[in-house]
Amino acid sequence: MFDMSRQNAQFASLFFVATAVLSILILPNGFSIAPILGFFSIWSLVISESFLLTRVKNEMSNTLETLRKKQEADIQDLLYFLRSYQIAASPFESIDGAKKFCDKIHYPAMVLSANHQIIKANKDMHEILGWDFCKKELNKKPAHIINDAVLMSVIGETMAKPENMERKSMITQYAYVHKSGKKIFGQMDASKIGVEGFFVVFHPSKNCVFSAEDIEKMVRAK
């Protein structure tokens, strides 16, 4: 393979110069041959420098492209970290944040859309209502299938009143409907997720260490 490195080019140039000098000294027509050999001497150096410049430019381009890709990857990693941090720090500002929080909370919880579809229900919510968590049966189901129609209607009408429209959250005693049809009583906490939906936590009465009646009795017994 033809190698036009600087060292080889210098050797070739020196060879052409030496040959030109010898042709002048030895050959009768050496003066006519010498300029041609001189041209090849200069040409070999020019071509060598041209190849070297092209190689340097290619290496610089490859290096810059590698740095650009690395910089893009670093920026994407940073943006992902910042977004993840923002979501974790503000779970009630986005559906994604609420979904992550739903997985971590140790109470029955779920994320609802603005039109009351269950976006995500955690394991505790599935189990307390008798649904299969492995199949994520509650996810993407309409919320009315686990709600008592009368209670849901009354709560909706109450929260739609002007004095309640600006509330970001509410707490109320409530009852969800088990898959078998029985009612599960407890306390329901609901928080708005911007304008996208709601984050709901349910505290079943049977899981309370003390019921409201127990606390009332203890306070009155003083």
Average pLDDT over residues 121-135: 96
Percentage of the chain lying above the pLDDT 70 cut:
77
List the beta strands (DSSP E) in 143-196.
169-177, 183-193
Instruction: Tell me the average pLDDT across 124-146.
Output: 95
For residue 179, what pLDDT band results from cuts at 50, 70 and 90? very high
d(Cα 198, Cα 168) in Å, to the nearest integer? 10
Percentage of residues in the chain having pLDDT higher than 90: 33
> Given this model, what pLDDT does residue 12 score?
67
**Please, which contacts does 85-90 make with residues 24 or more away whose CB atoms are closer than 8 Å?**
none
Asked whether residue 69 carries a pLDDT value surpassing 70, the answer given is yes
Domain boundaries, the chain: 6-87, 95-214
| Span 93-104, pLDDT tens digits | 788 888 988 988
pLDDT digits (tens, 9 = 90+) for 187-200: 999 999 887 899 99
Read off the pLDDT band of 137 (50, 70, 90).
very high
Which position has the higher pLDDT, 203 or 34?
203
User: Mean pLDDT for the chain?
Assistant: 82
Q: What digits encode the pLDDT tens for the residues 4-52?
A: 565 666 666 667 667 766 666 676 666 677 677 666 767 767 776 777 7
Residues ≥6 apart with Cβ < 8 Å to 124:
106, 107, 108, 109
CA dist 197 and 88 (Å) reads: 17
Domain 95-214 has CATH 3.30.450.20: yes
Q: How far apart are CA 44 and CA 22, in angstroms?
A: 19
pTM comes to: 0.60
